[in-house]
Copies of this chain bind each other. A is one copy, B any other.
Amino acid sequence: MNINIDQMRKFSIQTFMKLDMPEDEATVLTDVLLEADLREIHSHGFLRLPIYVERIQKGLITNKVELTVETENASMALVDGNYGAGQVVAYKAMEKSIEKAEETGIGLVAVKNSNHFGISAYYSLMAAKQDKIGIVISNVAPLMPAIGGAEKVIGNNPISIAAPSGEGDPIVLDMALSNTAYGKILFAKEKGQSIPEGWGVDAKGISTTNPDDVINGGFLSPVGGPKGFGLAFMAEILTGVLSGGDFSKMIPSMYDVNQKQSIAHFMLTIDIKKLIPLEIYNSSVKQLVSYMKDSKKAEGTEQIFLPGEIEFLKEKRNKEKGVPMEEQTFKNLNELAKELEIDALTV
């Protein structure tokens, strides 16, 4: 089923306002969730709305964001998110990073005590839509072992880099540092298929091609083995360590509704025009894009896509046709609507 996006937007804003979240903050949180669904990153969209609600109801996420700026200079700031909604904390932190870049050419905001912030591309794109480059990194609850380990100690920490491309949509990379998503392991099991080498390890930490081994006590593996692990480890330093916040095993899962999460983010903005004229940047990026898109195609390939391009195509389609939603998600959201006494979603 496809759900009209104005209806989804209204539903989500009403939901969070029912929890006494200010309208502007409910709107930001909603827009980040909706953007994920529009780009068909459904794992970070309305599917997670009920868990955010539960965490707010239990006081694990505050229903009003109050940032404390602990350190600040012209190019940098360290911000305590005070356990506010990750989306709102990250949005405000990115605004500050962009402001600083407008002053000095580069802005870095380190954030501690935030929460799961949804899709990282949302924030890097805030910079790219203003002729700037945005680099956003977050830690998350540990999900993968170290190389040679058999215990979850490191998150599949997302990294997003977005850059303007002149007249076209921005180019935006948004990747988690596991080789694959857990859902793909479940899918392989369902189909009775084996998984490629490198996707996961069994409970003893040994590489496996059997999805059951990963599901029964095993773990996802970092993308490219030591390369992905190395990036994930440095991401912990750039987020949790550099902000004086939490990291690795200090961070509980967002589905553990007995503990606060304390996620850390790294939000960097570079103002292109402070280095080179925008016309030169735009003409270079156009040339770079055409080197890729006009290059010789592999047999069977019709078109070469750049980072984020397929998601922009999906976004455009879904804005018109409505967002595709699983029946179970739809059902869960309408149960929540009943509980909160707001208007249900309709198809």
State the A residues within 8 Å of B (CB).
Answer: 71, 73-76, 78, 104-106, 108, 110, 133, 145-151, 153-154, 161, 163, 171, 173, 175, 179, 196-198, 201, 204-206, 223-224, 226-231, 233-234, 236-238, 240-244, 247-249, 270, 272, 274-276, 280-281, 284-285, 287-288, 291-293, 295-301, 303-307
Which 3 residue pairs of A and B lie closest in terms of their CB atoms, listed nearest first?
A: A205-B298, A148-B301, A223-B224
On chain B, the residues within 8 Å of A293 by CB distance are: 146
- With A223-B223, A284-B247, A288-B237 already in contact, the answer to whether A295 and B228 are too (CB < 8 A) is no
Give A148 Cβ to nearest chain B Cβ, in Å. 4
Q: Across the interface, do B108 and A150 meet the contact criterion of CB distance under 8 Å?
A: no
Q: Across the interface, do B284 and A151 meet the contact criterion of CB distance under 8 Å?
A: no
Q: A229-B307, A247-B287 are in contact. List 7 more A-B contacts (CB 8 A).
A: A149-B298, A150-B299, A163-B237, A175-B231, A240-B284, A241-B285, A243-B275
| Bound-complex Cα distance A285 to B171 (A) | 33
A234 in complex: contacting residue of B78, B105, B171, B233, CB < 8 Å: B171
Q: Across the interface, do A270 and B227 meet the contact criterion of CB distance under 8 Å?
A: no
| Bound-complex Cα distance A229 to B306 (A) | 9
> What number of copies of this chain does the assembly contain?
2
Task: Find the B residue at minimum CB distance from A241.
Answer: B284
| 9 residue pairs bridging A and B, Cβ less than 8 Å apart | A73-B104, A75-B75, A78-B276, A149-B295, A173-B231, A204-B298, A223-B227, A236-B288, A244-B275
- With A149-B296, A197-B197 already in contact, the answer to whether A291 and B106 are too (CB < 8 A) is no
Q: Across the interface, do B153 and A291 meet the contact criterion of CB distance under 8 Å?
A: yes
On chain B, the residues within 8 Å of A224 by CB distance are: 179, 223-224, 227-228
On chain B, the residues within 8 Å of A296 by CB distance are: 145, 149-151, 205
On chain B, the residues within 8 Å of A145 by CB distance are: 295-296, 298
Q: Across the interface, do B173 and A272 meet the contact criterion of CB distance under 8 Å?
A: no
| Bound-complex Cα distance A237 to B293 (A) | 15
- With A148-B297, A248-B291 already in contact, the answer to whether A242 and B230 are too (CB < 8 A) is no
Q: Across the interface, do A148 and B305 meet the contact criterion of CB distance under 8 Å?
A: yes
- With A270-B242, A275-B110, A288-B241 already in contact, the answer to whether A148 and B304 are too (CB < 8 A) is yes
A280 in complex: contacting residue of B105, B163, B244, CB < 8 Å: B244
